[in-house]
Amino acid sequence: MADTKPVLLIVEDDEGLQRQLRWAYEDYDVVIAGDRETAIDMFRQHEPAVVTLDLGLPPDPDGTSEGFATLEAIQTLKPDTKVIIASGHGARESALRAISSGAYDFYQKPVDIDELGLIVARAFQLHAIERENERLASRTGADQTVLGGMITAAPEMLKVARTIERVASADVSVMLLGASGTGKELLARGLHDESPRADKPFVAINCAAIPENLLEAELFGYEKGAFTGAVKTTEGKIELAEGGTLFLDEVGDIPLPLQVKLLRFLQERVVERIGGRKTIPVDVRIVCATHQDLDAMIAEKSFRDDLYYRLAEIVVTIPALAERPGDPTLLARHFLRKYAGEMNSAVKGYSPEALAAIEGWNWPGNVRELENRVKRAAIMADGKLVTATDLDFEDSADDEPLNLKAAREIADRKAIRLALSRAENNISQAAKLLGISRPTLYDLLKQYDLSP
């Protein structure tokens, strides 16, 4: 019967310590190497998920050059390997430098077998979780994809998706409210694809991107000779969406005179082209979106309340990316695969500090900002791992609550969501990642009203 134990590569030149470690780790298939060349050969042969590495290797046992060269070689060959660095007395600075270069963790010499055993076990566990996440993410239609194209594992976004799926079959107007870059058009397309109109056109128009004097012509069309430059009769976006869905993005930017004409269309379901005299019946479903505060605009008389009620028969509020713990990392991996593939880039993943920066950033530009940063990083990265510098992060101090109880709840909620995301909602795995027991995690889920 084949040995199914996971392979643990131990790179250590002290023969006594080699024997001690081999004896201590009987749950693993332990492979020993005493120098860089042997370590690389053994790594190529076995491709272990976890490596323990003493930086002081011959012919430089009192230095770190051979150890760092070994670390670099391992990361080049297989970037997702978890390398655990040995740190002797006075060598903590070198261990921290190794971690900033991509090592997973470090242990202090003289070796505490139990402590190192926990670090090694955690490294194998994390590697297995990451591999499973990659496997799931590579499958079309995996659980992380909703409405056919939106990638998420956040309960907040899954709730939005379920709402849109429920209203898709009802022929009502839908208003999507959310900040710029949160994926409003993607959700509108998802709604169209889930509706009985899916085989008819989906027509989108960004009302903020078209000059005010041209927007009416874009929406309603015009007859030949209606104005200078109108050399032929042209259908508007409303007509082009016949039988399907018209998506009005940034509807808050429609000027008041045009709001009146749009309201008339919604009431009578006919359009009249500029320069035309006949009315044309059109059957379309309206989905619109805005990042503006329409309630405030209505109070200021810059947006008609009767138009709002026609457009907002169902209102769906989209959470910002910062309100979706776990999704920034999920999306960052997706975008990196996409752009590295398109550009034939050698980049394979993210360094630990890059992942920490992604999870800690507040993403004012939401998914669009994340995609742009990753696309740029796929071009600019020098190595196989994207760094925080490649992502163009700058130090920032977010406003945090001074109340300790509130601060702890925010931190607890975020950590729990991240752990559940990484563990694919497996309670046992999430509890291990958080370093707490399953009953404690269940208590916290109940306390904070979170759903696994």
CA dist 34 and 407 (Å) reads: 47
State the CATH architecture for 324-386: Orthogonal Bundle (1.10)
Give the mean pLDDT of 379-408. Answer: 67
- Supply the DSSP symbol for 365: T
Q: Which of 75-84, 144-153, 184-193, 415-424 has the lowest mean pLDDT?
A: 144-153
- State both tokens at 8: 């643990």
CATH of 147-317, one of 3.40.50.1980, 3.30.450.20, 3.30.70.100, 3.40.50.300: 3.40.50.300
Q: Are 370 and 334 in contact (CB under 8 A)?
A: no
Give the mean pLDDT of 142-162. Answer: 77
For residue 90, pLDDT over 70 is answered with: no
Of 318 and 150, the one with more pLDDT = 318
Q: Can you give the pLDDT at residue 14? A: 86
CA dist 143 and 153 (Å) reads: 8
Q: Do domains 7-138 and 147-317 have the same CATH topology?
A: yes
Q: pLDDT, tens digit, for every residue of 336-347?
A: 988 988 887 788
Q: pLDDT, tens digit, for every residue of 197-254?
A: 999 999 999 999 998 889 999 999 999 988 888 889 999 999 999 999 999 999 999 9
- Which bin fits 276, alpha (ψ -120 to 50), beta or left (φ > 0)? beta
What does the mean pLDDT of the chain come to? Answer: 86
Q: Are 210 and 262 in contact (CB under 8 A)?
A: no
CATH 2.60.120.260 fits 7-138, yes or no: no
Query: Could you tell me the residue ranges of all domains in the chain?
Result: 7-138, 147-317, 324-386, 404-447
Which of 164-178, 336-350, 409-423 is most confident?
Answer: 164-178
Query: Which residues have a Cβ under 8 Å from the Cβ of 375 and sit 6 or more positions away?
Result: 335, 339
Which of 85-94, 314-323, 397-406 is most confident?
Answer: 314-323
Band of residue 402 on the pLDDT scale cut at 50, 70, 90: very low
Q: Are 246 and 284 in contact (CB under 8 A)?
A: yes
CA dist 204 and 207 (Å) reads: 9
Q: Model's pTM, two decimal places?
A: 0.58
Q: pLDDT, tens digit, for every residue of 334-389?
A: 899 889 888 877 888 888 778 888 888 889 999 999 999 999 999 888 778 888 88
Q: pLDDT, tens digit, for every residue of 99-127?
A: 878 888 888 888 888 888 888 988 898 88
> Could you give the 3-state DSSP secondary structure of residue 130?
helix
Q: pLDDT, tens digit, for every residue of 283-304?
A: 999 999 999 999 999 999 999 9
For residue 142, pLDDT over 50 is answered with: no
